[in-house]
Every structure is written in structure tokens, then in C-alpha cells.
Amino acid sequence: MNRALPMFAKFVCVALMSLSVAWANEEKAPAAADPAKGSTLYSNGDPSRGILACVACHGAAGNSTITQNPKLAGQHDAYTQKQLHNFKGPDRNNAIMTGIAKALGEDDVRNIAAYLEQQKPAPGSARNKNTVDLGKKIYRAGIAEKQVPACAGCHGPNGAGIPAQYARLAGQHQDYTIAQLTNFRTGTRANSAQMTAVGKRMSDEEMQAVADYIAGLR
């Protein structure tokens, strides 16, 4: 009896199993993001699925002119995806965005995020000269006595953020930034333990100052 045959058969079996796993993984791999499809969905929505056009609230190319709604142009792809997923759960409850996010499929989320990342952000500006120095100090050095870390440590000196981890903040509307810091303080927004701690340690005046300074970053 040829002892090599059982060994050969075993080798073939293992090889076939490996190929099967590889093919299965390949089938499960998500499709590459399509910014063009993201642009269409962002601009027009999809009434057949109950998806509203993002442009109505967030402006052309993600540059919102409504100060309560965030500018999304230039935001990191992975960060936008995370926020859309968070809107589907309890950690970021929003009467409008929760419904929209739940209607989006995984491809929709990737496509919209990829489109927004490619857009050029419109600059903002600080509007309160009386608090700009306080805002600058908080952003760059934090508030030591309250154990509030420097915003720049995570979001960068110019507010560019860190992809997949920390949001791009430069030029963001003051009203929106203040609202989010307040939401972190109250627990209305609970998708960042770090920011929840920061929000609870800041006064209204400090929030307003740093939000104003962020608006002028480029």
C-alpha cells in the first residue's frame, strides 16, 4: 500500500478548505466606496427608501450655512461612518438623524462618507474678540485646574483632527460646537467617554470661547 496517497489526500483536503475560506471571505468583503453615488444620495436622497437629501440641512458639498447644523465637508471618512452608525443606536440620539441613519445601508454610509471627505471645507471665522484669547488658551493648553486636556492634543493645532479617531473641527459653526459640548455634558450624546468627561468639566463661558476659536481655525 502506498502510504503517500493518504498524505496527498489530506493535503488536497486542507488546500480545498483553505480556498473555501478565502472565497467566503472575498464574498463578504464590502464593496469599495463610490463617492459619485454618495454625491447623488447626498444631493437628492432616495424617496423610495425614505432617505432625505442631506444637502437640505448640511448645504452644498457639505458646507452648511445653518449654524445649528454641522459643516461636513472635508470630514474624515471613517469618522463620518462612525457617527452615522452611532445615530442608529442609543449613544447619539437625534430626532432627525436617527431616522435617516436607520434608512441607510452600509454601502450608502460608505459612499456618503467618501464623498464628503473629498469636498473642500468653507472657512469660518471667530466672531467674539473678547473671548478669543480664552478660547485659544483652552484649545492649545486645556484647563489644568479642571483636568480638561488641550483640544489640540486630539484634534490637531489647526483643527485637522486624526482620521478614524478624532473629528476635523476647523471652521465648524460655533452654535453647533457649543450644542455638542453641552450634549456631552448632559449625556444626550454618549458616544465618547473622553468628550463626556470634558463636557462635564467646562463652564458655558469656556465652551463658548473655545467654540468661537475653533470656528476661526483653518
For the record, the C-alpha cell of 44 comes out as: 437628492
- Look at the block and give the residue holding cell 481655525: 217
Contact 134, 126 (CB under 8 A): no
Residue 110: what pLDDT?
98
3-state DSSP of the chain: CCCHHHHHHHHHHHHHHHHHHHHHHHHHCCCCCCHHHHHHHHHHCEHHHCECCCHHHHCHHHCCCCCCCCCCCCCCHHHHHHHHHHHCCCCECCCCHHHHHHHCCHHHHHHHHHHHHCCCCCCCCCCCCCCHHHHHHHHHHCEHHHCECCCHHHHCCCCCCECCCECCCCCCCHHHHHHHHHHHHHCCECCCHHHHHHHHHCCHHHHHHHHHHHHCCC
Task: Note the pLDDT of residue 93.
Answer: 87
Residue 12: the pLDDT is 47
**Domains by residue range for the chain, with CATH:** 35-117 (1.10.760.10), 132-215 (1.10.760.10)
Read off the pLDDT of residues 113-160 as tens digits, 9 standing for 90 and up. Answer: 999 999 999 999 999 989 999 999 999 999 999 999 999 999 999 999
pLDDT the model gives residue 124 = 95
Q: What is the pLDDT of residue 23?
A: 52
| Nearest to 115, CA basis, from 69, 72, 167 | 72
3-state DSSP call for residue 166? strand
| pLDDT (tens digit per residue) in 159-173 | 999 988 899 999 999
Q: Is the separation of the CB atoms in 120 and 73 below 8 Å?
A: yes
In order along the chain (218 residues), what is the average pLDDT of each group of 10 residues?
Answer: 52 50 55 96 95 97 98 98 96 93 97 98 93 96 98 97 94 98 96 97 98 97
Instruction: State residue 2's pLDDT score.
Output: 53
Rg of the Cα atoms in the chain: 23
- 3-state SS, residue 170: coil
As a whole number of angstroms, the distance between CA 159 and CA 58 comes to 20
Cα gap 16→22, rounded to integer Å: 10
Do residues 121 and 171 make contact, with C-beta atoms less than 8 angstroms apart?
yes
Q: Calculate the alpha carbon distances from 154 to 100, 159, 170, 213, 217 in Å.
A: 29, 9, 13, 16, 15
pTM equals: 0.85
